[in-house]
Chain A
Amino acid sequence: MKIKSERDFWSGIMFTVVGIGFAVGATNYSMGASARPGPGYFPLLLSVILAILGGVVLFKSLTIETEGGDPIGSIAWRPLLVIVVGITFFGAALPRLGMVITIPILILISSLAGDEFKWKGVLVNAIVLTVFSWLIFVAGLKLTIPLWPTFLAN
């Protein structure tokens, strides 16, 4: 079997796996009857449909010709990992380290995802954005965001 469309092939796999996963999970909840549907009714229905559709997409990807084989192309690993790490860092750091420390570090980390990294630009960007964020979110919109690290505030 030759994969005629790489993107559709992996899409089909994704849908089928997720569908089966949710379907298995749905069996843990009572189905009820048609007249009184239980909590598992709709999830099971949906996940089975999803798995079937995934199967169809998979089938099509193996049989229907596309030009160029629809390749996935290169995966941008660096931006992907940097951004994911950056967001996770932000989630962990903000409540503990406060905005004033977390934001510049976030800017630093995310700037690593780009093509060029020049210290001066990144630092200026970090300072500008920290001040800007304080202005908009804390002063302007009055949101409760910790500014300083917890050990300093106490």
Chain B
Amino acid sequence: MDLINNLMLGFGVAFTLQNLLYAFFGCVLGTLIGVLPGLGPVATIAMLLPSIYSLDATPALIMLAGIYYGAQYGGSTTAILINVPGESSSVVTAIDGYQMARQGRAGPALAAAGLGSFFAGCVGTIIIAAFAPPLTELAFKFGPQEYFSLMVLGLVGAVVLASGSLLKAISMIILGLTLAQINTDVISGTARYSFDIPELTDGIGFVVIAMGVFGFGEIIANLGMPAEHREVFTNEVKGLWPTKQDFKDAWPAVLRGTALGSVLGVLPGGGALLASFAAYTLEKKMAGSSGRFGKGDIRGVAGPESANNAGAQTSFIPMLTLGIPPNAVMALMVGAMTIKGIQPGPQVMTSNPQLFWGLIASMWVGNLMLVILNLPLIGIWIKLLTVPYRFLFPAITLFCCIGVYTLNNNSFDVYITAVFAAVGYLFYKLSCEGAPLLLGFILGPMMEENLRRALLLSRGDWSTFMMRPLSAGLLLAALLMVVIVMLPSIKKKREVAFVED
């Protein structure tokens, strides 16, 4: 069967020593940044992009993927142990996980999170392997109109996740699209908005924006806040394994969470975050009055953790098959593929099968490594949290600077990063989300190209987007999403769910 053959090819690639090492390194690094609050996968992947130049495509992407879901695992560890979610998708885990830790049940909580995530990861891998080929078939039917509409859907989907004002999130997307217009027009060769500065004719690198807004903006914001006290429960992590009753309670939650996460992860703008919130709400509803949600119910940990890991896996699907990144992290991976000269899209599967299936297989391997890494090594990760911030943030600053410089061995990029560091802080102060901006920035050139091609093909007729069924369907779905999010009842839930952010 094709599925088995593909997976065998993939595992053959994934189990080479080099790729195993890179997967391991990615997982360790990912867990590290997941544990450290204030440094996320976006900034880290952005930092590592320059070093991709010296690596081959497959190991590089394997490492980046490892970082992505390593961060999910790491984030849940700190969420449970010290009520500080290291990652935005661990916010939900902190609610019941921390309560369990306070009752001395940190062990079962961590185990539930780890094992649930592993199960979800396995299922996610199989789903990717099974659904990738049919989706790729569909993708070949896409013309420029469909690509444009899909990107609109993706951007709208990203807005659904933004934790603040919907209007401002949409504005940030448009701002991102606009900033991407600083470049040389592909079709006519005109340099736009370059002010006669040669470096600007290629546009602002997205790594520069990512580091400035996410990395440095975050650092400046953190430094502006006074240090808070945190209790740490590392001394009392004994009894790692959950009881039989825990297993009985948790495994249906794991199944439900995995299912929910797998579906939501594929949607543009979806991924881990949305999935974990949805799973928590689902578990709460299903438990009814017998649940002890908010007071340490293991289902409140197992469900969301499985969902966010399943979502993290399946969010690779739109990227790998259609070349459309569903969230900011995937957008950076698209960037990485472009750096290696691989055009992301449906043809990746046929032209680079080793890369495609190797990446999928190594995701499973990565999940396995993460379970092994996280459960026994918890003490070490927590020790890291005791490093004072005043040593950490210069280190982060340094790595970001080196990363930006080595992109083009050009100081100009560094100066622009300084500008965006200030801009990033401005966004933070004004409660404007950075992620929609980055997504818009990366999709901007693609959207423009497809729009112009579509208009060229239709000779200036804008209705071509609605006349083709696929394209019309996508645009309607985008409209539907906007309407749903604006409904008062969902608005309330969104505000409650995002209160931590």
Contacts and interface: CB of A to CB of B under 8 A. Distances in A.
Interface in A42-79: 42-43, 46-47, 49-50, 53-54, 56-57, 60, 70, 72-76, 79
Contacts of B293: none
A87 B452 contact: no
Interface in B421-464: 421-422, 425-426, 429-432, 448, 451-452, 455-456, 459-462
A90 to B, nearest CB: 4
Nearest to B52: A141
A88 B414 contact: yes
B44 to A, nearest CB: 13
Interface string A93-126: 0110000000100110011011111000110010
A18 B178 contact: yes
Contacts of B455: 34-37
Interface residues of B, number: 65
A53 to B, nearest CB: 4
B185 interface: yes
B220 interface: yes
A35 B461 CA distance: 7
B171 A113 contact: no
B233 interface: no
B223 A34 contact: no
Interface in B401-424: 401-402, 405-406, 409, 411-415, 417-418, 421-422
B167 A47 contact: no
Contacts of B174: 46, 49-50, 53
Interface stretch (B73-81, B270-278, B373-381, B385-393): B385-393
Contact of B448 (A42, A72, A87): A42
Contact of A114 (B165, B393, B415, B460): B393
Nearest to B405: A94
A138 B411 CA distance: 18
Contact of A125 (B167, B219, B394, B411): B394
Given A14-B430, A80-B422, A143-B54, A114 B462 contact: no
A43 B221 contact: no
B415 A88 contact: yes
Given A87-B418, A106-B401, A110-B394, A19 B178 contact: yes
B452 A10 contact: no
A110 B174 CA distance: 33
A97 B481 CA distance: 53
A53 B167 contact: yes
B108 interface: no
B462 A34 contact: yes
A139 interface: no
Contacts of B456: 35-37
Nearest to A9: B430
A57 B415 CA distance: 31
A83 B218 CA distance: 11
B168 A57 contact: yes
A52 to B, nearest CB: 9
Contacts of B459: 35
A50 B440 CA distance: 13
Contact of B171 (A57, A75, A142): A57
Given A14-B430, A114-B389, A43 B54 contact: no
Contacts of A94: 405, 411, 414
B421 A137 contact: no
A153 B399 CA distance: 24
Contacts of B415: 87-88, 91
Minimum-distance CB pairs A-B, first 7:
A76-B224, A91-B414, A34-B460, A35-B460, A79-B223, A39-B185, A87-B418
Interface of B: 50-51, 54, 165, 167-168, 170-171, 174-175, 177-178, 181, 185, 187-188, 190, 192-193, 216, 219-221, 223-224, 226-227, 389-391, 393-395, 397-399, 401-402, 405-406, 409, 411-415, 417-418, 421-422, 425-426, 429-432, 448, 451-452, 455-456, 459-462
21 contacts: A15-B175, A19-B178, A34-B455, A35-B456, A46-B174, A53-B170, A76-B220, A76-B223, A87-B417, A91-B411, A91-B413, A95-B411, A113-B223, A113-B393, A115-B226, A117-B390, A121-B390, A125-B394, A133-B402, A137-B51, A141-B54
